[in-house]
Amino acid sequence: MSPASKWGFIKKGLLVGIFTVSMYCVPVLAETQGTVTGTNVNLRTSNSIESEVYSQLNTGDSVSIVELRGDYYLINHDNKELFISKDFVTVNALSGKINASAVNIRKYPSTNHEVLSQADAGESFSVIGKSGEWINIMYGTESAFVHRDFISIPSSFELKEVVVEEPVIADDNIGMVNPVALSEEFYAQVNSSDGLKLREFPSIESNIVNVFANGTTVDILADCGDWMHVSLDGQEGYMSREFVAIKEGKRPENFIESPGNKIINYARKFLGTPYVWGGTNLNKGVDCSGFVYSVMKDFGITLNRSSRQQYQNGYTVSKANLNVGDLVFFDTDRGGYISHVGIYIGGGQFIHSSSSKRTWGVTISSLSEAYYTNTYYGAVRIL
């Protein structure tokens, strides 16, 4: 941008409410808070109107929501897990959990704007809403933004767009990409411990076509300001300029095994380990989530323990865009909720600990098998 550029403002979206709740059984974060809106509202021992009434709550009472099961919230009350009808609870405080290291917290929803601070995996923030691909959080006493790829939000809550007066540099070429060609004496290297997404176009809303590990070197086709147009092994795309280092000289070959392949090669070592409910010992016995939890733990990745809770880790991806290392989830109980998890290994297959008599223990199965096609729930990316 030229020195003569001047400041302008862009308004994005309209706040129509912080969130709405879906009807399905989907895990939410333990920090989610609600307020009772009725008198003598029953707390039940299961999510059924026919179940036993444990006690009652009244208007204004606070509840800590664990997850949504059908028409009932599972809550923690008196050190017990109880159920309350969602019709009598207003959700008033939603939390999001950071899922990567050194994640930038920005003043406005754009990589062009000031970084207020950084957050590490596991840190939680109150969620206000969203602006495009950015999640609006409370950072101390002020509004701030984190890109949605790096904060886990319960999928049962649909965030609403918020009004953002975002200062932008305005000139005649605003919004245009003006690539500057670089000579072959330069190359780019990924400089992000969490890897870097290669996108089809220079926009965070564009499709992700690949994810490169930290240290991967790529050829530069053009410098497009906030984006680098790059290629590697015939695949072209755009990378955020913020997370690449420009280096001079001939590009060295990549001898880096992708994080996903490293994990799968390690996981394969435990093929045949027996299925043990509640087990986390990769050599002696594991259940489905225990297998995923223990494999990832050995690579420094901390996941929630149960399959339902593991769906909160990372961000959701479509079945058509699965990458090696993604977690795949199934509703094997046919109850409308997650009951099984495995790790995608590529080629339409996944590795998991099965409780089936036919394939007992750690095994490899195909997503195209009728059973897994019919019970497929979704997938999340954690790498």
Q: What is the pLDDT of residue 123?
A: 85
What would the 3-class secondary structure string for the chain be?
CCCCCEEEEEEECCCCCCEEECCCCEECCCCCEEEECCCCEEEECCCCCCCCEEEEECCCCEEEEEEEECCEEEEEECCEEEEEEHHHEEEEECEEEECCCCEEEECCCCCCCCEEEEECCCCEEEEEEEECCEEEEEECCEEEEEEHHHEECCCCEEECECCEEEEEEECCCCCCCCCECCCCCEEEEECCCCCEEEECCCCCCCCEEEEECCCCEEEEEEEECCEEEEEECCEEEEEEHHHEEEEECCCCCCCCCCHHHHHHHHHHHHCCCCECCCCEECCCEECHHHHHHHHHHCCCCCCCCCHHHHCCCCEEECHHHCCCCCEEEECCCCCCCCCEEEEEEECCEEEEEECCCCCCEEEEEECCCHHHHHHEEEEEECC
Share of the chain above pLDDT 90, in %: 27
Residue ranges of the chain that CATH labels 2.30.30.40:
10-16+95-170, 33-93, 186-248
Which residues are catalytically annotated? 288, 340, 352
Q: What is the pLDDT of residue 255?
A: 66
Q: What is the pLDDT of residues 37-68, one digit of tens each?
A: 889 999 999 988 889 999 999 998 988 877 77
Q: What is the pLDDT of residue 75?
A: 87
Predicted model pTM: 0.38
Q: What is the pLDDT of residue 4?
A: 31
Q: What is the pLDDT of residues 108-119, one digit of tens each?
A: 887 767 788 888
Considering the four listed CATH numbers 1.10.600.10, 3.40.50.80, 2.40.10.10, 2.30.30.40, the one that applies to the domain covering 10-16+95-170 is 2.30.30.40
Mean pLDDT rounded to a whole number for the chain: 80
Q: What CATH number does the domain located at 186-248 have?
A: 2.30.30.40
* CATH H-level, domain 260-381: superfamily: endopeptidase domain like (from Nostoc punctiforme) (3.90.1720.10)
* Weakly modelled stretches of the chain, pLDDT under 50: 1-30, 168-181
Q: Which fold has domain 33-93?
A: SH3 type barrels. (2.30.30)
